[in-house]
Amino acid sequence: MGTQKSKASPPAGGRADTKKKLPEHFRDYRHVWVFMELERGQVHPVSFELLGEGRRLADQLGAQLAGVILGPPGDSTQHAVAEAFAYDADLVYLVEKPLLTDYRNEPFTKALTDLVNKYKPEILLLGATTLGRDLAGSVATTLLTGLTADCTGLDVDADGSLAATRPTFGGSLLCTIYTLNCRPQMATVRPRVMRMPQRSNKPIGRVIRHNLRMWEDEIVTKVVDFLSDGQSENANLAYADVVVAGGLGLGAAENLQLLKNLAHTIGGDYGCSRPLVQKGWLAADRQIGQTGKTIRPRLYIAAGISGAVQHRVGVEGADLIVAINTDPNAPIFDFANVGVVADAISFLPALTEVFIKRLAPRNHMRLVN
């Protein structure tokens, strides 16, 4: 069990509070990188959200924005390269090798740390997905640099440092974290926390290829199988445009049907607060909030949910929040846009019916036209 080979150790003592001029060797570290998550041929949308953020940070720094793509040779990897530019990257670092087909920690960690050591980014952003967190933790430890988890806000401050803000204690407070005396500054961001930027038709630009010196027989872990969730109805909650969710106020598992009916009527997805998962009424991937999914729908309807801070942090990005609750003093009314003090059990069916009425004639008209 060996310890890490240590890099130039940071100047000892008093490191915390005074931020001085950046040390000389930091100047080599420039530009903003986004790790583009490619799994089984698909770019995870969080990568585009991060390119949007990365663009803003790079512009503030007067630096370039690069996408980092690790994948097998072939169309899907090339497609990811094109997408990086379409989401406004200035350049792409590309490692193509068959052993990068499925995500595994060992080759991905080596490929990404190799790139960082060679091309020295100032900021490196990854999605806080299972893949991103697995990879970011290894890479940061290999590089002996700081990593801020699950950020909800990223900014560059006056002296060019990355100010990464994340919720703490379940969202009741926020804290801003800096990485001092180490580069790159690394951060992970959850899907749906940042806005999806506009896609453009920007053509493919500069692609820098790196040759990963690693062979399959050096890699200990093998992927034996992949059991896809398939067309599991759960896949899209985080990215749904309309989400309807229920809480303990629904009273009984049977009443979830009212929720599903409404979701179905308006073409949305449904979710819940944590206690419903704990009671086994719905699967864990339906949970919305700090320890569940972050959603950013255009319309969020919460029925029988009190609006605890751990729930709130997962839904605040919604464009319009509607709350249905019997208690006029429920905390959810403090952050909802529209509130109805009503019994969800009788109100949800009425709401579903009204939607059916209001939406149906248009369908009809379109058919006639």
Partner 1 sequence: MHIVVCIKQVPDSAQIRVHPVTNTIMRQGVPTIINPYDLFALEEALKVRDYHGGEVTVLTMGPPMAEDALRKALTYGADRAVLLTDRHFAGSDTLATSFALSQAIAQIGNSFGTPDIVFTGKQTIDGDTAQVGPGIAKRLNLVQLTYVAKIASIELSARTITVERRSEGGTQVLKSELPCLITMLEGTASIRRGSLEDALRAARSEIVKWNAAEAGIEDITKCGLRGSPTVVKRVFAPTPRAEKAAQIDTTEKTVRDVADELVTSIFTHQPALEHELSSTGSA
Q: Footprint of partner 1 on residues 320-349 (CB under 8 A)?
A: 320-323, 328, 332-342, 346-347
Contact predicate 247/306, CB 8 Å: yes
Which range binds partner 1 by CB under 8 A, 12-20, 75-83, 199-207, 246-254? Answer: 12-20
Query: In the set 292, 295, 301, 336, which binds ligand FAD (CB under 6 A)?
Result: 292
* 239 touching partner 1, by CB under 8 A: no
Residue 157 CB, nearest approach to ligand FAD (Å): 17
* 148 touching partner 1, by CB under 8 A: yes
* 149 touching ligand FAD, by CB under 6 A: yes
* 311 touching ligand FAD, by CB under 6 A: yes
> Cα separation of 46 and 36, whole Å?
8
**Span 255-284, contacts to partner 1 by CB under 8 A:** 264-267, 284
Contact predicate 34/65, CB 8 Å: yes
Residue 16 CB, nearest approach to ligand FAD (Å): 13
Count Cβ atoms within 10 A of the Cβ of residue 181 and give its class: 0-12 exposed, 13-18 middle, 19 or more buried.
middle
Closest of 243, 230, 348 to residue 295, by C-alpha: 243
How many alpha carbons fall within 13 Å on the CB side of residue 86? 14
- The single-letter code of the amino acid at 126 is L
Find which of partner 1, ligand FAD, none residue 363 binds, CB within 5 to 8 Å per kind.
partner 1
**Span 169-198, contacts to ligand FAD by CB under 6 A:** 170, 175, 177
Q: Which residues pair with 61 in a beta bridge?
A: none
**Start-to-end C-alpha separation, the chain:** 73
- The single-letter code of the amino acid at 276 is L
* 345 touching ligand FAD, by CB under 6 A: yes
* 222 touching partner 1, by CB under 8 A: yes
Closest of 271, 268, 273 to residue 290, by C-alpha: 273
* C-alpha 43, offset from chain centre: 12
* 355 touching partner 1, by CB under 8 A: yes
Cβ proximity to partner 1: between 76 and 138 the closer is 138
**Span 222-251, contacts to ligand FAD by CB under 6 A:** 247-249, 251
Find which of ligand FAD, partner 1, none residue 306 binds, CB within 5 to 8 Å per kind.
ligand FAD
* 226 touching partner 1, by CB under 8 A: yes
How many alpha carbons fall within 13 Å on the CB side of residue 107? 27
φ/ψ of residue 304, rounded to 5:
70, 30
Q: Which residues pair with 356 in a beta bridge?
A: none
Cα separations (Å) of 237 from 124, 292, 312? 27, 11, 16
Tokens coding 64: 């370039």
Query: In the set 117, 172, 198, 211, which binds partner 1 (CB under 8 A)?
Result: 172
**Span 283-312, contacts to partner 1 by CB under 8 A:** 284, 291, 298-299
Find which of ligand FAD, partner 1, none residue 69 binds, CB within 5 to 8 Å per kind.
none
* 174 touching partner 1, by CB under 8 A: yes
* C-alpha 212, offset from chain centre: 27
* 290 touching ligand FAD, by CB under 6 A: yes
Residues in touch with ligand FAD (CB under 6 A)? 147-149, 166, 168, 170, 175, 177, 247-249, 251, 273-275, 287-292, 304-306, 308, 310-311, 314, 324-327, 330, 343-345
